[in-house]
Amino acid sequence: MQAISVYCGSSPGLKPDYAASARLLGSELAARGITLVYGGGRVGLMGTIADEVLAAGGRVVGVIPTDIAEREVQHESLTELHIVASMHERKMLMTKLSDGMIAMPGGLGTIEELFEVWTWAQLGFHSKPCALLNVDGYYDQLLAFLDAMVSQRFVKRIHRDLLHTDTDPAALLEWMQAYVPVTADKWLDMEKT
């Protein structure tokens, strides 16, 4: 595990615990020699985790679309910065540069990025671990909904379980470093029930 993409808010969120967890995850990444790959911003939780990794002597790779970079929200002190043409290109490059993906608290973009790479794992496009850092119960309602998708037979349990959840950044990274890929056909209606 040499590099991990972290998806998180471009806002700090309501609770101080969100920024505290971003700093803790950032320091854990740096201590383990794992490069942070993220959206390239200097604001919100994105800026917090990047600053923490850099302060601890770690590597930070940002990937930011041109139109967002032009709004002057890009981080200017990163180890490496890629400016790309579109959000789709951003997600593709972040996934290519990473050995796993973590979503912290965030908004629509965070959820969209996580769900896309998680779907790619479900379809077998990659075999990298996908995880949620569930700070202060932020994702509890989403997790309940995901379990409902399983009970309603729209998602297989094995695919639901491809998304690991933890509240502790160190434990989450331990799981990711020990991850063994699991594969199964996506289509439920092709199985006998």
Per residue in 162-176, pLDDT tens? 999 999 999 999 999
User: Is the confidence at residue 70, as pLDDT, over 90?
Assistant: no
What pLDDT is stored for residue 184 in this prediction?
66
User: Is the confidence at residue 97, as pLDDT, over 80?
Assistant: yes
- Worst-scoring range by mean pLDDT, 100-109, 150-159, 176-185? 176-185
**Residue 52 CB partners (closer than 8 Å, separation 6+):** 22, 23, 25, 26, 27, 30
Per residue in 43-61, pLDDT tens? 999 999 999 999 999 999 9
Number of Cα atoms under 13 Å in the Cβ half of residue 6: 34
User: Is the confidence at residue 110, as pLDDT, over 50?
Assistant: yes
User: What would the CATH number be for the domain defined by 3-190?
Assistant: 3.40.50.450
Helix, strand or coil, per DSSP, at residue 100: strand
Average pLDDT over the chain, rounded to an integer = 94
What pLDDT is stored for residue 193 in this prediction?
41
What pLDDT is stored for residue 189 in this prediction?
59
Number of Cα atoms under 13 Å in the Cβ half of residue 15: 13
pTM beyond 0.85: yes
Distance CA 45, CA 64 (A): 15
Q: What is the CA radius of gyration of the chain?
A: 16
Sequence ranges of the domains in the chain: 3-190
